[in-house]
Structure 1
Amino acid sequence: MKASAKNLLSAGLLFFMLAAGCSKDEPSEPDGPETNKTFISSVDISRYPEIMLSNPVFYDQNNQVKDLLSILKESGVNTIRVKLWVDPADGHAGFAEVKQFSQTLHNKGFKTWLTVHYSDTWADPGSQETPARWQNLDYPNLLDSMSAYTAKVVAEMSPDYIQIGNEINSGFLFPMGSINNFNQFKALLEAGIQAVRNTNSDTKIMLHFAGINGASLFYNKVKDLDFDIIGLSYYPWWHGKELSVLEQSMKQLSENYDKDIVIAETAYPFTLDWNDWTNNIVGTEDQLISPDYPASENGQQEFVRAIKTISWEKVERGLGFSYWGGEQIAWKGPEATDASAWENLALFDFNNKALQVLNEFESE
């Protein structure tokens, strides 16, 4: 009995010493997978330079007068998304204005995200009109002009993120760049991408699709192109009201095509009322995700919180989101019929006071 007890004690001591040695020399298990993701907390305020010409007064949530950019910065917004048109009729969103605005934003400490429409006006799935200056070019010269223009944009504006086209579900630079002319469409994308890479290797490149339906088919067609980020527009009244479908779609797209992914455009109303005589895009209950997200300050905040949770926390390679039209108050006055169709989806109420939804833009 004594011998066996002694042997057991020796064996136990040896095991303890070995275990102690292992715990000293071996690193502990990490708490979870490491990630180098950088949260994109973005607002698209493309009309800000135009709106500020009317000298509106903005208020923070404490009802203190502040400039809009300071309010956004203090709320945690770290990136500003800006559209760029080639030769717009009134100059707004054109090269000179966007270049100056980009410099202002960089000086304020924001990252910039340019959505290059390659058009003189709105480009979206239903409209991708070639700029007037390029409309008489043959395809090789269009390719060269588009490439040179992209390089100039990157060289002079130094965007942190850039979209080659805006909502290019059906292509861009019609008719030559229609997705139905797939080889030309793809070559134009490649030319834009290469121009960015050659000019500034730090700029991240995004391809932007509007909605969820058809997104997988689209990205499968362009999967061999050298871009960094999948960008999706998501508006419930156009793209479906099931947030679970959005989440699952983002997961599948990111995994299937090995890309980071963001919600490039989204918004939600804080009311169904209006503050000018311009017809609003969202104005009826059937456009909402009811009853979970009513058209109220709380409903708007809860919607953006859900978007943030999906695009940053639940999707492994999700980078965050951009809120579209946050600045689009009724800036031309209460009787304007040609101003904001978006004032009930802005980030400021009808008195230009910051809404509580801005609390959701801070990284956690």
Structure 2
Amino acid sequence: MKKLLIALLTAASLSACTTTESFVKGADVGWLPQMEASGYQFRNRDGKRQDALRILKDYGINTIRLRTWVNPSQDKGSGHNSRDETVAMAVRAQRMGMRIMIDFHYSDSWADPEKQVKPAAWRGHDFAQLQKDVYDYTYDVMRALQSAGVAPEWVQVGNETRTGMIYPEGHTDNWPQLAKLINQGYAAVKAVSPSSKVVLHLDRGNDNQWFRTWFDNAKANGAKWDVIGMSYYPYWLPGRPDYTASIDDLGRNLNDMAARYGSEVMVVEVGGEDDRPQNTYDMLVAVQAKVRAVPGGKGLGVIYWEPQGARSWSHYALSAWGADGRPTKAMDAFLRQP
């Protein structure tokens, strides 16, 4: 009896140690293949060279977000992220036990609130063909992932689509067309991977009025989604205020989106200044707390955008990596328990 009790306690202990937390603690690492190809050396907190994904996992990161571009260039900062490169990264991350999010930009390079440039190969197509382009491209990438053994838990149809995507046809000036393009992406995702949750993603997660306006229009025009995704970058807000000036607005917006539309919500992009690691740490702790506090368990998690994208390589000020090749204190925020 004593031996049986010890065995049961041991099994329970092992189970507890291997249980994966459902709350998403993520990193977007689209730059990682280029960084590695250029010879950038990642170091862990002890200064030892180590695989970047291993370092991130040791900091509590359980999800990897990857963008995909239609026909990207080979430019170091604004290229790569082809279908095949994205699939290879997804396979690599999944083998390490990471969960996967795929972010369709529907462009050959960056798509964000300032630019939503139609892929060159789709230019001149009428709207009927453009809808087919969206479906076929989405389906092709999803099938490539499936063939490689990857079923993403989340798939974004568009990136920071504040005023739409695939201009001019998919601009918010023409919501009926934008909704049709969104639904082509949604249908293609579900045709290949019915369990994947489709995310629609806007910037300025603290701006509740804009989110209400956008998603009211999306709903009125029949656009489909499963999760509402938000970016939250205090650095990019007018006047660059400290996060403490907008964090409560983020929390209220998360709660309102979940209640108003019955949707799950997630902060799919967040970042803070690399030379203010304590402030970024504090911000990340606060953001995670706001997402966890969404009623009904509808707050899914938080994803840092390019934490490993060290400024010395990327010239990007909002990574969580230092000039010494190591993570900054900011990454410790993902090790905290609620």
Give the aligned partner of residue 218 of structure 2: 222
1:313-347 Cα offsets, whole Å, 9 max, x none, are: 35542111111121211454xxxxxxx232x4222
Post-superposition offset of 1:360: 2.0
- CA 1:53 to 1:330, structure 2 compared with 1: closer, same or farther past 3 Å? farther
| Residue correspondence of structure 1 range 110-129 to structure 2 within 5 A | 110-129=98-117
Q: Which runs of 4+ in 1 moved over 6 A?
A: none
Give the aligned partner of residue 191 of structure 1: 184
**Distance in 2 (alpha carbons) for counterparts of 1:208 and 1:222:** 12
Query: Whose Rg is larger?
Result: 1
Post-superposition offset of 1:238: 2.8
Q: Which AA in structure 1 matches 2:329?
A: Q
**Distance in 1 (alpha carbons) for counterparts of 2:318 and 2:116:** 25
Give the aligned partner of residue 238 of structure 1: 236
Taking structure 1 as the reference length, the TM-score comes to 0.77
1:71 maps to which of 52, 55, 69 = 55
| Residue correspondence of structure 1 range 28-43 to structure 2 within 5 A | 38-43=22-27
| Residue correspondence of structure 1 range 216-295 to structure 2 within 5 A | 216-223=212-219, 224-239=222-237, 241-271=245-275, 295=276
**Distance in 2 (alpha carbons) for counterparts of 1:155 and 1:298:** 42
Aligned length: 296
Stretches of structure 2 lacking an aligned partner (at least 5 in a row): 1-20, 146-150
Post-superposition offset of 1:237: 2.8
Q: Which AA in structure 2 matches 1:358?
A: M
- CA 1:234 to 1:315, structure 2 compared with 1: closer, same or farther past 3 Å? farther
**Distance in 2 (alpha carbons) for counterparts of 1:206 and 1:314:** 17
**Tell me, what secondary structure is at the counterpart of 1:104?**
helix
| Residue correspondence of structure 1 range 1-364 to structure 2 within 5 A | 38-90=22-74, 92-157=80-145, 158-211=151-204, 212-213=206-207, 214-223=210-219, 224-239=222-237, 241-271=245-275, 295=276, 297-314=277-294, 316=296, 317-330=298-311, 332=313, 340-342=314-316, 344-362=317-335, 364=337
**Tell me, what secondary structure is at the counterpart of 2:135?**
helix
**Distance in 2 (alpha carbons) for counterparts of 1:341 and 1:254:** 36
Q: Which has the higher helix share?
A: 2
C-alpha contact (below 8 Å) 1:54/1:331 kept by paired residues = no
Stretches of structure 1 lacking an aligned partner (at least 5 in a row): 1-36, 272-294, 333-339
1:112-161 Cα offsets, whole Å, 9 max, x none, are: 11111000111111211110000021111111111011111112123221
Post-superposition offset of 1:100: 1.3
**Distance in 2 (alpha carbons) for counterparts of 1:184 and 1:95:** 26
Report % sequence identity: 26
1:180-219 Cα offsets, whole Å, 9 max, x none, are: 1211111111111111111111111100011133111101
